[in-house]
Structure 1
Amino acid sequence: MSEFFQRWRARLRPAARTIWLLGCTPAAWAQVSGGDVIALDLRSPMFWLSVFGLLGALGLGLVLGLVQFQRLKLRQRRAELLLVRRERTKLSALLNAIPDPVYFKDANGAYEGCNPAFEQCTGLREADLVGRRDEQLAERPAWSQALGPQPPGKPGPQRTLSWLTQADGSRACLDVVQAPVFDEGQCLGQVGVARDVTALREAMSQLHRAVTVFEHCGEGIMVMDADLRIRDVNPALCAITGYSCEELEGSMPHYLRLNEQDPDFLERLWAEVEAHGKWSGELTDRHKNGETVPLWGTIVKVPPAESHGQPHYLSVLTDISRIKKTEAELLHQKLHDRLTGLPNLALLRDRIERQVGLAQRDHTCVAVLYIDLDGFRDVNDIAGHAAGDAVLKETAARFINVVRASDSVARVGADEFVVVLSGLVDEETSMRLGERLIDAMREPILLGDKSFTLGASIGLALFPADGVSVDELLRNAEAAMCRAKAHARNTVQAYRPELTQAVQQRFELTHALRHANEAAQFRLEYQPQVRLSDGALIGAEALLRWRHPTRGPISPAEFIPLAEDTGLIIPIGRWVLETACAQAARWQGQPGKPQQVAVNVSARQLRQPDFIETVDFILAETGCPAQALELEVTESLLLEDAEAAIELLGALTARGVRVAIDDFGTGYSSLSYLRRMPVRTLKIDRSFVSELGQDAHVAAIARTVIVLARSLNLDVLAEGVETAEQAAWLQREGCDWAQGWHYGRPMPAEDFVLTPHALPDGPRRTLRHLQLA
């Protein structure tokens, strides 16, 4: 075998050498041949075998190279296709995962595809869309009309807002953007994306409202960071504090500074903020001008938006300066008299209680002076309530000028004041101060063209001698005042234990009197009035009676003055007038019944500005004829304001109402005014009639009254006629009418009857007339 290979190698060596030489340069030939030229034998088979072998080898190498190149290209193409497939898979997964509707169109506007979000949003399936344009669809998307074909010459995205109704019936707003797709300047189609911006628009709307509220809210709003540094404020807060927004930013609020607030208060505040997330309460800030501003604040802790962020704080502040001012005013009104500005009873009690506490500690005294103005009711009756208010203001000012700054003056009633003295005071010192208070009222009070002189009755009670509690001191001082008013006006009376019972009785009677008027405990009884000449019934006087549920009958002499003092005479008198007029109307035309009823009217009733209107209303309401009513007034009315009394009585007379002067001769009479008074009757008081047969001077006075009445063409009626002798004397002297138990006791209307009495025959005295200048 080795020989075989050696033989073929020897045969092939020349051929290989020849092939090598063919591929070498001449220089290489020279080197190989040693400079000798090698001749080629073209007819040698070996030569051609070498040539064809070389060409075959070259062809085979070329084919193998092409095959290898195609294999490499195919492998690269496969890698590219795999990459494209993967990219398409990623893109498809991306489109399917996008929550916003996405669609593709070709250059002609026909749909090429869409994602599932588009199908869910529009309700159209991709299979029904592909290859079709919008106008070819039965239900086209809501935005298709706004996003038409791409305008020529204006390449670029198109955008619109579209509203559609979703499957659940809710409305959704879509922000749709459609953009062209170009490749080397050629438009391949369009891609569109629709985003649901309903929540975004709602958030923007809420944000707009929040910004509007923030800017225009009347309460101050402050945003602080975690270090309590101000980051933003609204205009209202700037108005509250007086600082601008730039001045406040970066600073710490005054109401949260330790050096300006109570540390314990701030500790409680932040403890509640941390525990509950917010705190509300009163705060105190400082205005730029240095004034203190009371605030009602709410501090809210806002958690961080991110897990590793820091919280911030929101503070809403309301300026409550006006509220505080109003509260102070209301408290002042609650504790002070609105007219005079003096402390009222509530504040007075508090001050007395505090003074008593100090006196117990220091072993000193407290003096309470209870003051009641004498004659004040006449001011209201004569000049009106406006004048009364002016008098009270002047009185309060005078009392304040008398007492010390440490003493208290309070108004506790219509015309009642209380002065409280503390410190080193005793009864003598307090009495002297009371005298000074009385002296302060001696100077007349001028109101326009009118002058009023008032007095003061003062009661004194001392702690601890006359009481140890506020109620005891006030009650006992009032008891002493009542004693001063009843016995010696314009004086100071110190409390004595025996006064308590009398004052208590008066208080109880006053309370019972008020209740009696409301509970209909009053009734009227009627006493006959007869003509002395023939004993005929000419009328009856209505007399008020009060039967208490527990005390029984109470004398008019006991409760009528109390009604005058308390002002209850006004409603009581109206009831009497209404009841009497109604009864007179029922008696009209009935035989044996009085055709005229007399009613007593107090001066306080007559001073009421609407008294005439009240009489007109009652007469019309009850149907009582004006001539069936007689009003009895006292002589004191003539002395208070004669001209006004003449005008008032004239108005009554003009209506047909008779007017009589009751108890004539017991007071001070002015004959000049009496002559001008439109009265029809003079009534002789019972005190004169009861002593006609015992005292000649009394008989002379009664005779003079009768003569005076005849001279003035007035009728005369004698009250309190109880015996036949008195009736006979009055008849002889020329008296016209009589009234008394002799003719009948006061009796209810249903039991009214006249007791007949025969008068003894006797000569009637001829009356002499007085000549009045």
Structure 2
Amino acid sequence: MAYGMTALSLASCLLAFVLLVALVSIRRKNTAIANLLKRKSDQLEVSEEELRLLATTFDSHEPILITDKDLTIRRVNPAFTRATGFERLDLVGTKASMFSLEDRYLPWHEIHHALEEDGQFSGEVMCRKKNGQCIPMYQRLTAVTDRHRGTTHYVAVYSDITEQKRTQEKINKLAFFDSLTGLPNRRKILDSLDRELAHAQRYETAGALFFMDIDNFKDINDTLGHDHGDCLLVELGRRLTDNVRKSDTVSRLGGDEFLILLPGDTSNEEDTIEHASRICEKILALSEVPYIIAGQKHYVSLSIGITIFPSNASSPLELLKQADTALYKAKGGGKNSACFFHPEMQRVAENRLAMERDLREALQRDEFMLRFQPQVDGGGVIRGAEALIRWTRPGIGAVAPEQFIPVAEDCGLIVPIGNWVLQESCEQMSKWLQQGLALDHVSVNVSPRQFRDADFVARVARVLSETQLPARHLMLELTESVVVENLDDAKSKMDALNALGVRSSMDDFGTGYSSLSYLSELPFYELKIDQRFVRSLFVDRKNSVIATTIIAMAKSLHLRVLAEGVESEEQLEFLRRHDCTNYQGYYFSQPVSACELERLMAQAGNEYHHGPPNLSVM
């Protein structure tokens, strides 16, 4: 009995232990389940929060588009439909490229390749709206992958950059286009020329560059005003554009200077030259079509310099320099003309630049000197002398005036050089008079630029005062081009000079306009027959007729006439027979120093009847 109770008690204890263990296990499982449920609940809350955030993001103001891996549209947000004008049903199931006109730099297949390689892409695209309008947008594409890193979708976010593009265009227009004509400016054309030159060098093609300016444009501005000059520039830019191909570029370099770039589209340089020649002919023909400015017709001509690339140069600036050199050569050939560049022209241009530099230094180093060529009357007596400038260039030697005077004219140095000649000539003439030499006058050449100076008459008066030279002993030689540029201004200045007592001579008569009207209007004292007529008196009968006509005309206008360039007894006798009474030339004397002229003056005047004296010319 006692044994049975013990066993029952043990069994009860064991059952209680098992129940206890089971209860503990159940409690732990319940706790784990509760914890799991809580975690799941928390995760659901997080997912809901993320979904709300995603939904909020998807409904943002920026257009968003979602595609599958084949770029088929699966989702679009409201901002996207508002931006494009398409409804959601219009887009879902279609290809994303249906409304986008590719990246501005890359086609769709390259964009797709970039997505596969990097998983993302960004760039500017042109998006086509439902109404057909295209707007610029910035696109950010991102690839969505699964756990195996395989692409399942693409998400594209867009930003409208229309205003940015407009602002950029305004900035570019200000930076790269001429504000007056709307044509590309210097910066733009040099950039285009750099690309075209590289293309021509790479693909062995030949292009051309035109450099042109308007003949006598300054006269138009001075007479009509700058506003009318601007109208002319605008109209010229339009005409130039109308006379070239769409692939060609017309630009305004500045002032009245224009460029035309013909891209290299042929490997045959001769074809390019032929095409450039045709374009050139069309442009030069524009001079025959008048411009209507201030209600009046004006005819305008151009000078053009042309260079071919890449054979002639390796940089845009070098090409520009070559075309400018050719332009300078064209201007030397007269108005409304053109010239092609070649290497010899470049050598001449470099020498010209070096001469310009040396001329500037020559003024500072007092390298110029004067020589005087006697002017004699019919009896062989020296009555006057023409002052002629001479220059000995360091390291080179004597430079002919016909070489350095045009350079000085072009660069503006002719004004200080001319002023120096005037000052030195008057000082020397004053010394001769003090020495008792019976000279009537010294003749001084005046350049167009020098004469146009508003202070010219005042300068002449000042020099006469400083050198104490009576005004009647100064003769100023003016060319026809000086007076016809502005007849009213010329008359005003010549009248003022005449009032001072200074006499004026018409130099090189017969080589320019030769208008009788200004001879009657302007107070000239002397008319000089140009030496080219005198030297060819017995070569071309026409020149002898011109010479005799000039003499007769001068006599009828009560002008003293002087023939320059007399080199032979035959020429002298011909001129004497036709009543020319004053002469100048190598038959009598070469240009000599002041001391040598004094020696000649000391000789008997009739020695010239027997031919030119023996002179030691310095």
- The two structures share one fold, judged by TM-score above 0.5: yes
Report whether the alignment pairs 1:630 with 2:475.
yes
State the secondary structure of the residue aligned to 1:356.
Answer: helix
**8 Å CA contact retained: 2:510, 2:530:** yes
Q: Could you tell me which amino acid in structure 2 is paired with residue 349 of structure 1?
A: L
Counterparts of 1:622 and 1:697, CA distance in 2: 44
Partner of 2:36: none
Partner of 1:758: 606
Instruction: Please report the TM-score for the alignment, with normalisation by the length of structure 1.
Output: 0.48
Report whether the alignment pairs 1:687 with 2:532.
yes
**8 Å CA contact retained: 2:221, 2:228:** yes
Q: How does 1:433-444 map to 2 (within 5 A)?
A: 433-440=279-286, 442-444=288-290
**8 Å CA contact retained: 2:287, 2:336:** no
State the secondary structure of the residue aligned to 2:369.
Answer: strand
Counterparts of 1:723 and 1:381, CA distance in 2: 46
Q: For structure 1, list consecutive stretches of 5 or more residues without a partner in the other structure.
A: 1-324, 763-773
State the secondary structure of the residue aligned to 1:752.
Answer: helix
Partner of 1:675: 520
Counterparts of 1:413 and 1:507, CA distance in 2: 22
Counterparts of 1:343 and 1:580, CA distance in 2: 51
Counterparts of 1:587 and 1:644, CA distance in 2: 33
1:259-300 CA-to-partner distances (Å, cap 9, x unmatched) read: xxxxxxxxxxxxxxxxxxxxxxxxxxxxxxxxxxxxxxxxxx
Q: 1:336 to 1:547 in 2, by over 3 A?
A: farther
Partner of 1:713: 558
Counterparts of 1:385 and 1:542, CA distance in 2: 39
**8 Å CA contact retained: 1:368, 1:461:** yes
Counterparts of 1:676 and 1:488, CA distance in 2: 27
Report whether the alignment pairs 1:455 with 2:455.
no
Partner of 1:225: none
Partner of 2:98: none
Q: CA deviation at 1:338?
A: 8.1
RMSD: 4.1
Q: How does 1:45-124 map to 2 (within 5 A)?
A: none
Q: CA deviation at 1:658?
A: 0.4
**8 Å CA contact retained: 2:286, 2:301:** no
Counterparts of 2:519 and 2:334, CA distance in 1: 32
**8 Å CA contact retained: 2:228, 2:294:** no
Structure with greater helix percent: 2
Partner of 2:323: 477
Aligned match for 1:544, one of 382, 386, 389: 389
Q: 1:414 to 1:619 in 2, by over 3 A?
A: farther
Counterparts of 1:561 and 1:753, CA distance in 2: 31
Report whether the alignment pairs 1:467 with 2:467.
no
Partner of 2:190: 349
Q: How does 1:46-445 map to 2 (within 5 A)?
A: 345=186, 348-359=189-200, 366-379=207-220, 391-392=232-233, 394-396=235-237, 398-399=239-240, 408-412=249-253, 415-422=256-263, 424=265, 426-440=272-286, 442-445=288-291
State the secondary structure of the residue aligned to 2:423.
Answer: helix
Counterparts of 1:704 and 1:686, CA distance in 2: 15
Q: CA deviation at 1:389?
A: 6.1
Q: Which gives a bigger RCO, structure 1 or 2 (Cα 8 Å, sep 6+)?
A: 2
Partner of 1:256: none
**8 Å CA contact retained: 1:461, 1:495:** yes
Report whether the alignment pairs 1:660 with 2:501.
no
State the secondary structure of the residue aligned to 2:336.
Answer: coil
Partner of 2:464: 619
Q: Could you tell me which amino acid in structure 1 is paired with residue 372 of structure 2?
A: Y
Q: 1:355 to 1:693 in 2, by over 3 A?
A: closer
1:663-691 CA-to-partner distances (Å, cap 9, x unmatched) read: 22344423343233311111122234335
State the secondary structure of the residue aligned to 1:577.
Answer: helix
In terms of mean alpha carbon deviation, does 644-653 or 624-633 score higher?
644-653
Q: CA deviation at 1:543?
A: 1.0
1:504-561 CA-to-partner distances (Å, cap 9, x unmatched) read: 444444444455445543322222223323x443221111222222332222223333
Counterparts of 1:401 and 1:646, CA distance in 2: 43
State the secondary structure of the residue aligned to 2:416.
Answer: helix
Aligned match for 1:596, one of 436, 441, 456: 441
Partner of 2:373: 527
State the secondary structure of the residue aligned to 1:546.
Answer: strand
Counterparts of 1:680 and 1:605, CA distance in 2: 20
Q: Could you tell me which amino acid in structure 1 is paired with residue 215 of structure 2?
A: D
**8 Å CA contact retained: 1:461, 1:473:** yes
Q: CA deviation at 1:360?
A: 5.2
Q: Could you tell me which amino acid in structure 1 is paired with residue 259 of structure 2?
A: V
Q: Could you tell me which amino acid in structure 2 is paired with residue 467 of structure 1?
A: A
State the secondary structure of the residue aligned to 2:501.
Answer: coil
Larger Rg: 1
State the secondary structure of the residue aligned to 2:436.
Answer: coil
The percent identity for this pair of structures is: 40
1:710-753 CA-to-partner distances (Å, cap 9, x unmatched) read: 22222122222344565455445433322223443212334432
Q: For structure 2, list consecutive stretches of 5 or more residues without a partner in the other structure.
A: 1-166, 267-271, 611-618
Q: 1:443 to 1:596 in 2, by over 3 A?
A: same
Instruction: Please report the TM-score for the alignment, with normalisation by the length of structure 2.
Output: 0.59
**8 Å CA contact retained: 1:593, 1:752:** no
**8 Å CA contact retained: 2:381, 2:606:** no
In terms of mean alpha carbon deviation, does 388-397 or 565-574 score higher?
388-397
Q: How does 1:488-567 map to 2 (within 5 A)?
A: 490-517=336-363, 519-533=365-379, 535-567=380-412
Partner of 2:414: 569
Q: 1:725 to 1:458 in 2, by over 3 A?
A: closer
State the secondary structure of the residue aligned to 1:713.
Answer: coil
Partner of 1:739: 584
State the secondary structure of the residue aligned to 1:661.
Answer: strand
Q: CA deviation at 1:628?
A: 1.9
Q: Could you tell me which amino acid in structure 2 is paired with residue 478 of structure 1?
A: D
**8 Å CA contact retained: 1:442, 1:453:** yes
State the secondary structure of the residue aligned to 1:758.
Answer: helix
Q: Could you tell me which amino acid in structure 2 is paired with residue 522 of structure 1?
A: F
State the secondary structure of the residue aligned to 2:434.
Answer: coil
Q: 1:387 to 1:739 in 2, by over 3 A?
A: farther
Aligned residues: 434
Counterparts of 1:536 and 1:461, CA distance in 2: 55
Q: Could you tell me which amino acid in structure 2 is paired with residue 660 of structure 1?
A: S
